[in-house]
Amino acid sequence: MNESTNQLLKPVTLKTNECGNLEIGGCDLAELVEKYGTPLYVIDEATLRNVCDDYKKAFSKYKNVNMMFASKSLCTMATSVILSQEGFGFDVVSAGEIYTVYKSGVDMKKVLFNGNNKSFDELSLALELGVGRISVDNFFELDLLNEIAKSHSKTVDILLRITPGIECHTHEYIQTGHLDSKFGFDLTQIDEAVELILNSYTNLKLHGLHAHIGSQIFETKVYHDEIEILVKEIARLDEKFGLKLDEINIGGGLGVKYTESDCPPSTFEIADVIVNSLTESIKKYGIEPPALFIEPGRSIISTCGVTLYTIGSSKQVPKGKKYVAVDGGMADNPRPSMYQAKYSAEIANCKKDESLQTVTIAGRFCESGDILIKDIELPNPQEGDILCVYNTGAYNYSMASNYNRVQKSQMVIVNNSKSDIIVNRETLDDLISHDVVPDRLK
């Protein structure tokens, strides 16, 4: 089975250069820090294009596949342009994500709007900008969307998001496919929804079913089970309503390698399971082969990204841990605090003949839980050293905050020894730009 980029811990272009510094995309990381400062998000364009190529090759055996990048993992205009160039569409979950991909110049027909509580304004924007599919999550949204579509004199192409009743062995906060979930129609509610679409909601056209079974998935059988449920439902709806649905969206969720102990399946392995399961289920239930939509996010962008920090203070607890603090933390990467997520890191600047120390990497924010990495071995970390944390492309910048009124970090993309800013570092004036002091307080 082919190894794929999602199984790598580090970007494909990472190496140690003649100066003894780490470099990515031909760019010395110490020089990037000197030029742009820290914390700094770095995206490796070669890794991003490699993983896109992996997905296209892996799923090439199925004739009608639509790759939809899950924008929630990282949504910037520059990365949207690259993904669009690679032939990907976009799964979006907010007006902000819709607007970002729209301003990036992508084909809006290849955009799907997903989410469990879409607002009137968001749905209206989706219609105005020509979003190709809307995945409807609940009865409230069916009614609201039909009214908006009617007011725009449009027929909206939709999928029904269902809860397939599958549990993945992952963190409970990122399980989205089990029965007790805020997402989607329960299997027992599908018929009522279909009847409303066929008989009452005449401005909605149903094309298929959508399900998502979780995130950071290392199992493969769950995809087989999900596909069989979706295909069986399509066959049942055809028999009961004469409804010829021709699309299934199986979501995303493929895991990545955050630490050496992680062993996610490859893109190729997952593709084999998905395509073989779909082929078997089509034959078993006697339906026409549907268009297949998949929504990878983390497995596309995570390995592409690293975050660079500058090491500052340190503290040795008597008979306890040694804490080494960096100039970022839970505001630029909340995942360790939220999910107890684990990361790997190295010192990026040259460290010759230094003995390894076991330290805990602490963030700079005023929370005792602001710990990025527990008990990592590093070569004698000192003030001014540069720490490179791997696999931070997904859910770091996209979940970042201004906690403690700290500016959000800059992001650059590197390729062929060149670096370009794709997200500017926030300024102090940016931080107060939306604050208002009422006249009566002056």
Instruction: Please write the tens of the pLDDT for every residue from 100-139.
Output: 999 999 999 999 999 999 999 999 999 999 999 999 999 9
Spatial CB neighbours of 283, under 8 Å, sequence gap ≥ 6: none
* Location of each CATH 3.20.20.10 domain in the chain: 45-301
Instruction: Report pLDDT digits (tens) over 43-101.
Output: 999 999 999 999 999 999 999 999 999 999 999 999 999 999 999 999 999 999 999 99
State how far the Cα of 370 lies from the Cα of 330, in Å rounded to an integer: 6
| Of the candidates 367, 403, 371, the residue with the CA atom closest to the CA atom of residue 389 | 371
Q: How many other CB atoms sit within 10 Å of the CB of residue 200?
A: 11
- Please, what is the average pLDDT of the chain? 94
> Can you list the positions of beta strands (E) in 380-417?
386-390, 410-415
The highest-level CATH class for domain 45-301 is alpha beta
The highest-level CATH class for domain 5-43+303-432 is mainly beta
Are 356 and 349 spatial neighbours (Cβ–Cβ below 8 Å)? no
Residue 183 has pLDDT above 90, yes or no: no
Residue 177 has pLDDT above 70, yes or no: no
Helix (H, G, I), strand (E, B) or coil at 244: coil
Helix (H, G, I), strand (E, B) or coil at 86: coil
Residue 291 has pLDDT above 50, yes or no: yes
Which pLDDT score, from 0 to 100, does residue 180 have? 56
Instruction: Report pLDDT digits (tens) over 149-162.
Output: 999 999 999 999 99
H helices present in 16-168, as ranges? 29-36, 45-58, 77-85, 95-103, 120-128, 139-151
Which pLDDT score, from 0 to 100, does residue 1 have? 52
Q: What are residue 425's phi and psi, to 5 degrees?
A: -70, 135
State how far the Cα of 297 lies from the Cα of 299, in Å rounded to an integer: 5
Are 27 and 241 spatial neighbours (Cβ–Cβ below 8 Å)? no
What residues are annotated to the active site?
366
Spatial CB neighbours of 31, under 8 Å, sequence gap ≥ 6: 21
Tokens linked to 311 = 């090491």
Q: How many other CB atoms sit within 10 Å of the CB of residue 322?
A: 14
Are 49 and 86 spatial neighbours (Cβ–Cβ below 8 Å)? yes
Q: How many angstroms separate the first and last alpha carbons of the chain?
A: 68
Q: For residues 264-291, give the mean pLDDT.
A: 96
Are 148 and 123 spatial neighbours (Cβ–Cβ below 8 Å)? yes
Helix (H, G, I), strand (E, B) or coil at 60: coil
Q: How far is CA 155 from CA 147, 208, 326, in A?
A: 11, 15, 52
Tokens linked to 279 = 């082929």
| Lowest-confidence region among 18-32, 210-224, 313-327, 359-373 | 210-224
The torsion region of residue 216 among left (phi > 0), alpha (psi -120 to 50) and beta comes to left
Tokens linked to 189 = 């509610």
The model's confidence at residue 173, banded by pLDDT at 50, 70 and 90, is very low
Q: What are residue 441's phi and psi, to 5 degrees?
A: -90, -5
Which pLDDT score, from 0 to 100, does residue 171 have? 43
Residue 172 has pLDDT above 60, yes or no: no
State how far the Cα of 381 lies from the Cα of 418, in Å rounded to an integer: 28
Tokens linked to 7 = 């199984």
- Give the predicted TM-score (pTM) of the model: 0.94
* Location of each CATH 2.40.37.10 domain in the chain: 5-43+303-432
Are 297 and 70 spatial neighbours (Cβ–Cβ below 8 Å)? yes
Which pLDDT score, from 0 to 100, does residue 266 have? 95
Helix (H, G, I), strand (E, B) or coil at 55: helix
